[in-house]
Amino acid sequence: MLAMEKQSFYRIEKKYLIARPIQRRLMSIIKKEMKPDEYYKSEIFNIYFDDNDFNIINQSIDWVDFKHKLRARSYKGYDRVFFEIKTKIKSRDDNLGYKRRVMITRKGFKELVSKHKTMKELVASQCRNPAPKDLQIAKEIDYLIQYLNLSPRILISYKRTSFRDDNGLRITFDENLKYRTHDFKFVRQKDDKIFFRDDHNIIMELKSQEALPLWLTHELSENKTYARRFSKIGNIYQRIRKENNV
């Protein structure tokens, strides 16, 4: 039986596109101030759900004040799948991110996609003593899938290095970003497409429930590193459209 982890998150999120030399300089300071995360070195697979017209992803690209995504995330070597409703609210200076999730097995994910079981049924059967909140999130996922007619549409994968401190700050570096639009299994395939044309584009994300520490803001300023908008799924979807001449 699976033990349910924390289901809900609220945080401020900032993203940066950096080159390898900048990453090395930042990492030398980060390693002194922070500690490796639980998934310090990991390979991540995200499967995004959408309808046939990709309305959810298009909403994300249009940068509306309120947007949400439905995705399944799993890590290489782990049987667990985190099924998430990820919501963002645009504020004046930052993105406010809310993430609510439940956890199932990879087998359970296949049963959900094949419509043999609902998310509520999976959480009730696979999780040890599911809390009412777990079941409520599961019901919301079922509603979104059925009401909006959602199914797996795009898989993206990347390798991540992550750090955290004792005050809720988390810093991640994502690289080797790839994608595909078929065979939705949590593994890499030979025909996965590379998003960046070279290996000098690294996505750094800062996630915190509080203001960033002074040592970090100083280092970002010293290295002329500034936050920018960058959605992995949004940019990959636009690449797919170009590839298909849409």
Answer whether residue 130 is part of any domain. Answer: yes
Q: 239 pLDDT exceeds 60?
A: yes
In a domain, 45, yes or no: yes
Residue 232 counted as domain residue: yes
| Token pair belonging to 140 | 């919301």
- 237 and 50 in contact (C-beta within 8 Å)? no
pLDDT at 177: 96
CATH number of the domain within which 131 lies: 3.20.100.30
Q: What are the two backbone dihedrals, phi and then psi, of residue 160, each rounded to the nearest 5 degrees?
A: -125, 140
Count Cβ neighbours within 10 Å for each residue of 216-235 and write b for 16 or more, e otherwise.
beebbeebebebeeebbbbb
Q: Determine, yes or no, domain membership for 1.
A: no
pLDDT at 173 over 90: yes
**Quick check: 195 and 178 in contact, CB under 8 A?**
yes
In a domain, 2, yes or no: no
Domain boundaries, position 117:
8-243
The number of folded domains in the chain is: 1
pLDDT digits (tens, 9 = 90+) for 22-65: 999 999 999 999 999 988 999 999 999 999 999 999 987 876 66
Instruction: Indicate the pairing of strand 8-18 with strand 35-50.
Output: unpaired
Reported as a single tens digit per residue, the pLDDT across 80-96 is 999 999 887 665 555 56
Residue 3 covered by a domain: no
